[in-house]
Amino acid sequence: MYHMLVTDVDGTLLDKDGKVPEETKLVLKALRERGFITTIATGRMLATAEPVAKEIMINAPLICYNGALIIDIYTRHKILEKYIPAELLIKGIKILKKYNYEIGIYHKDILLIDELNAKTGWYIEANKGIEYHTVGDLEGYVKSTGISSPKIFGIGELGEEATVPAGLVEDLSEDFEVTYAGGGHMEINLKGVNKGSGVKFLAEAFKIDRNDVICIGDGHNDVSMLKYAGMGIAMGNADDRIKVFADYVTVTNKENGLLKIVNEFVVPQEKIVL
């Protein structure tokens, strides 16, 4: 019997307009009333993930930055932090610059970039509401401050046809967890840090067997939790390369398949009617 549901945000929980459908909120409320644990696992920073988490009233800690930070949003207690240390940040920056990438690193929920240009401007615009600072030279800034970061975002060439250059992932993989973020872009965490590791940490903390966990997602950074969960569910809008890792494929985020998922797998004997 399933006891815990973890959902991605973008392309999964949110609809085509970037909103949480009212039906979804009601379904999650019905689950909580039945004693179900519900939360979010996202690549988003805390500042942009927390409003969504509060809107759906999660009742377990929030997993953000792809598992680098797990936090109780109601008490502000940081339960787990697995950040990239300064020396590895510098190594990651050097590798990405070798492949002509622009780089964003996060520190205290602020995006740090070298400068505002076409690539970094695109990323900031795509993440509306994100706070950013230009530091001139990221590598030098990290060397002088010794900061750590939960995640690096590598901004590749812009355009639908852009791809990740050959050799880049291999160069990064010794020290980092790398997931594709569409086109030539990528999310980079400390080795071993991913959504799957975050869900595992929470499940064990709540003493829930992995077979009793449902995870739902649509992106490459969701694969680790789809593989961990007893029931990994891919959205219909997910790429076919993501769907192969799922136990079940539901409808798209435009069609709000959460009620269907819940009635089929969570409470099949007592259908939730809204």
Strands 62-64 and 248-249: unpaired
Domains 4-82+193-266 and 86-190 share a fold: no
139: closest CA among 149, 130, 124?
149
Q: Are 245 and 36 in contact (CB under 8 A)?
A: no
Sorted by where each begins, the domain ranges of the chain are: 4-82+193-266, 86-190
Q: What is the pLDDT of residue 237?
A: 92
Tokens of 70: 């797990």
Element (H, E) at 188: strand 186-190
Distance (Å, whole) CA 206 – CA 110: 31
Q: Are 100 and 139 in contact (CB under 8 A)?
A: no
Q: What is the pLDDT of residue 268?
A: 61
CA 181 to chain centre: 10
What would the DSSP string read from start to end of 69-99?
Answer: EEE-TTT--EEEE-PBPHHHHHHHHHHHHHT
Total residue length of the chain: 274
Q: What is the pLDDT of residue 120?
A: 97
Q: What is the pLDDT of residue 267?
A: 64
Q: What is the pLDDT of residue 261?
A: 79
Q: What is the pLDDT of residue 207?
A: 97
**SS3 state of residue 126:** helix
Distance (Å, whole) CA 58 – CA 73: 9
Distance (Å, whole) CA 200 – CA 82: 14
Fold of 4-82+193-266: Rossmann fold (3.40.50)
**SS3 state of residue 215:** strand
Q: What is the pLDDT of residue 87?
A: 98
- Looking from the CA of 120 toward its CB, the CA atoms found within 13 Å total 20
Q: Are 139 and 93 in contact (CB under 8 A)?
A: yes
55: closest CA among 29, 37, 91, 83?
29
pLDDT per residue, tens digit, the chain (274 aa), is: 789 999 999 999 998 888 999 988 988 998 999 899 999 999 999 999 999 999 999 999 999 999 999 999 999 999 999 999 999 999 999 999 999 999 999 999 999 999 999 999 999 999 988 999 999 999 999 999 999 999 999 999 998 788 999 999 999 999 999 999 988 999 999 999 999 999 999 999 999 999 999 999 999 999 999 999 999 999 999 999 999 999 999 988 888 777 777 777 776 656 666 6
pTM confidence score: 0.94
Task: Report the CATH number of the 86-190 domain.
Answer: 3.30.1240.10
